[in-house]
Amino acid sequence: MKEDSDWIKNKQDLKDSWISEGGKVGQAGRDTYQLDNSSIIFQTRNFFVSIFPGIFSGDVEIQDRMRKSFAIRSKNFVRQYIEASLESRSRIELGLTERLDLNKRPWDFEYQSSLYLKKKLTSSETISQLFELYNEGESLLVVGKPGSGKTISLLDLALNLLDKFESQASLKIPLFLNLSFWPSKSISIERWLILELNRQYFIPEKIAKRWIIEENLVIILDGLDEVKKNHQNDCAYAINAFIRSYPCTSLVISSRIDDYTELEEKLYVQHSLSIRPIPSWRVFRYLEACGEPLNGVLEAVKEDAILKTMAKTPLILSIIILAYKDFGKDDLLSISELSKREHLFETYIDRMLSRSKSDLANYDKKLATKWLSFLARKLQDKSLPIFYIESINASWLDNKRQKLNYQIYLLFACVAPMIIAGAYFGVVYLNVYALSAAYVYDEASEQQVINILPYNAAKQSILTMPRLSTLIGGAIGLVFWNYVGFTIVGKTPSFSSLFLIFLSSLTIGSAIVLFVHTLTVIFSRFIGWLFIAPSKKDIPNQLTWLALKNSVFLSTFVSFSAGLAYFLLTFLLTDLPFRFLNLAFLSLGYLIGIGFLSPFGAFCTRHWVLRKVLSEFGSMPKNYSGFLDWCCNRLLLGRVNGGYFFVHRMLMEHIALKYTTK
């Protein structure tokens, strides 16, 4: 048995970290997957780079800057995730067992003995230390029970590799991702990695693809068990296809042991490690080190077999220490056997919500648990480990009444600009508002807006969206025919005259659409620089605010351009006062219509309308980011890169089931 100093470096620091009420969470083999042969292109390119390095020097500099910038962002993400994780608070050495029986290799024999296939490793060996001993291209599977420390072990590995990469830039780039973001069997792991590098770290797709093709990555994939149940086998097939296509790329994959053993398709990995439960003697000494407030817990754990088993996982041990502080032995032993785990989670949630902090906001416990339950249920249904406020969409509405209110509010948002611009001009602008209103009702355009915001899409023009080109073409047609039509029919037009104006506007607008599309193909890369794109994702709901800024820019630009064109058309044929009055109404109409009903504006409109409906029905508070930050300060949620996550999946599952049922 080791001495205390071997496994607890500072007893007083440990005690202070657990008992104090202060502190704040850190902002924390199928054909479907056959990949392309673009590696030949990159091999050819590398050949020419080696012969003519001067020609490609600028490209190399961009690559180096991108690698360094990615390493910084990735390290911040990993550190925030570790700080916010409950498992990081119980830093006990984890025992590992080598599990060759979990590998899928053609040279393995079925009759090998279980003694050979399961080999205990020494307690001093960590996953990071073992990974250093593996050869290039060798992959590792890490399995364990829920709460055993799989995620924190992979995060430690990623942080260790990132530290080495900073000191030696020639090493491969470590990439940590959660597999629950893998959408379905319709996409290969290669393509998914490219999309995630772009979405999470703003790496241009061209550079991300080069990293993968040239096998410059060490890929760490957490949570195979968090992929939707009916897609887990497909995901395993996709991973195996990637391993076969990129034999020099090392992968590390984690999964719950029970979920992995149920898979039909096992992974082609060279190494498999299983995380063992914490030994009882180590649990006892850890509780002793926490001091007097946990003496009752220590005695109860020694006597109660169920509590002892629960405490052997790092997550549950962390929750026990936080939830059962100052509990007596008799209090814990009196809990029925069937409800011990439920009682633990309930006590933890209650104590965390009761913590007195310096927050200005204060939320009722019942409302807080209701809002957390709604969030947990949605994240569980969608298999999402991290929640971004801007990702809320119409699928979050639970019933017909909510959906009806949502449609009514959206309809009002579309009609309001015509009311503001005036009934007289509203009739004339019916065409442009009808075109722009289509964006508000089209959820598919949400992804178009999100796709245009990341780094690599900053060079793309918003005009590449077909319906927006139609919108602009229709707008230009209306500017012209608003003047021409009313000049022809006079100030009090008949119904047939109005129909003629509308039909003429639509015809001219459609013709201009073709011209706009032609210009778009030529100038899209240059026009795209006008729009603001994020360089990092740190602020909650950042993409929504960014879309709002872009909608204001777009509305101002188009309103000024349309107003100027209208003014020049009417300069010689109307009186000056009437000219300026028309210009004012026209500019106001386009400012509202184009700005707030453009793709950017429509994205914001749908988001805020959806938030309003969900708030009215009690699914979330009005100040959602404030509430989520409040939960972070109470160790229920963690925050990382502007997103939020439950401190552990087991806690999320409990909240989703318990309070939804209530």
The stretches of 150-251 forming alpha helices (DSSP H) are 150-167, 189-201, 205-213, 232-245
Share of the chain above pLDDT 90, in %: 18
- The stretch 103-112 carries a mean pLDDT of 50
> What integer pLDDT is reported at residue 190 of this predicted model?
93
Residue with tokens 């509430």: 627
Q: What's the average model confidence in pLDDT over 60-75?
A: 80
**What pLDDT band is residue 439 in, cutting at 50, 70 and 90?**
very low
Mean pLDDT of 472-493: 48
- Sorted by where each begins, the domain ranges of the chain are 1-25+278-354, 56-276, 361-398+620-662, 400-611
Contact 528, 460 (CB under 8 A): yes
| Residue with the larger pLDDT of the pair 219 and 564 | 219
| Residue 429 amino acid letter | Y
- For residue 643, the cross-strand partners are 640
Task: Say yes or no to pLDDT of 113 above 80.
Answer: no
| Residue type present at position 292 | E
Nearest one of 604, 551, 539, 610 to 393, comparing CA atoms? 610
Average pLDDT on 444-451 reads: 44
Q: How confident is the model at residue 395 (pLDDT cuts 50, 70, 90)?
A: confident
User: What sign has the CA pseudo-torsion 543, 548, 549, 554?
Assistant: positive
Confidence at 614, pLDDT banded by 50, 70, 90? very high
Q: Is the pLDDT of residue 202 over 50?
A: yes
453 neighbors 546 (Cβ within 8 angstroms): yes
Q: Are 103 and 269 in contact (CB under 8 A)?
A: yes
Read off the pLDDT of each residue in 336-360 and give the average, rounded to a whole number: 82
In contact, 624 and 642? CB cutoff 8 Å = no
Statement: residue 394 has pLDDT above 60: yes
Q: State if pTM tops 0.75.
A: no
pLDDT surpassing 60 at residue 393:
yes
CA atoms of 294 and 316, how far apart (whole Å): 15
What mean pLDDT is predicted for residues 475-491?
49
Is residue 45's pLDDT more than 50? no
Homologous superfamily assigned to 56-276: P-loop containing nucleotide triphosphate hydrolases (3.40.50.300)
Token pair in block for residue 618: 């009690």
- Mean pLDDT, rounded, for 525-553: 62
Q: What is the mean pLDDT of residues 27-56?
A: 42
CB 219 within 8 A of CB 250: yes
Bigger pLDDT: 229 vs 141 = 141
Q: What average pLDDT score do residues 33-51 get?
A: 43
Mean pLDDT, rounded, for 238-244: 93
Measured from the Cβ of residue 7, the count of other Cβ atoms closer than 10 Å reads 15
Confidence of residue 548 (pLDDT cuts 50, 70, 90): confident
In whole angstroms, give the CA distance from residue 300 to residue 519. 76
Q: What is the pLDDT confidence band of residue 289, given thresholds at 50, 70 and 90? A: confident
Choose between 109 and 274: higher pLDDT.
274
What's the pLDDT at 442?
A: 46
CA–CA separation, 113 vs 115, rounded Å?
5
Would you state the pLDDT for residue 569?
56
Mean per-residue pLDDT of the chain? 72
Residue 510's pLDDT is 52
Q: Report the range of poorest mean pLDDT among 71-85, 127-141, 204-218, 488-502.
A: 488-502
The matching CATH number, chosen from 2.30.30, 1.10.3720, 2.60.40, 1.10.10, for 361-398+620-662 is 1.10.10
Q: Is the pLDDT of residue 637 over 50?
A: yes
Of residues 326 and 495, more confidence is placed in: 326
Residues with Cβ < 8 Å from 548, sequence gap 6 or more?
A: 600, 601, 604
Q: pLDDT for 259-272, tens place per residue? A: 999 998 899 998 99
Reading the block at residue 202, the tokens are: 């703003």
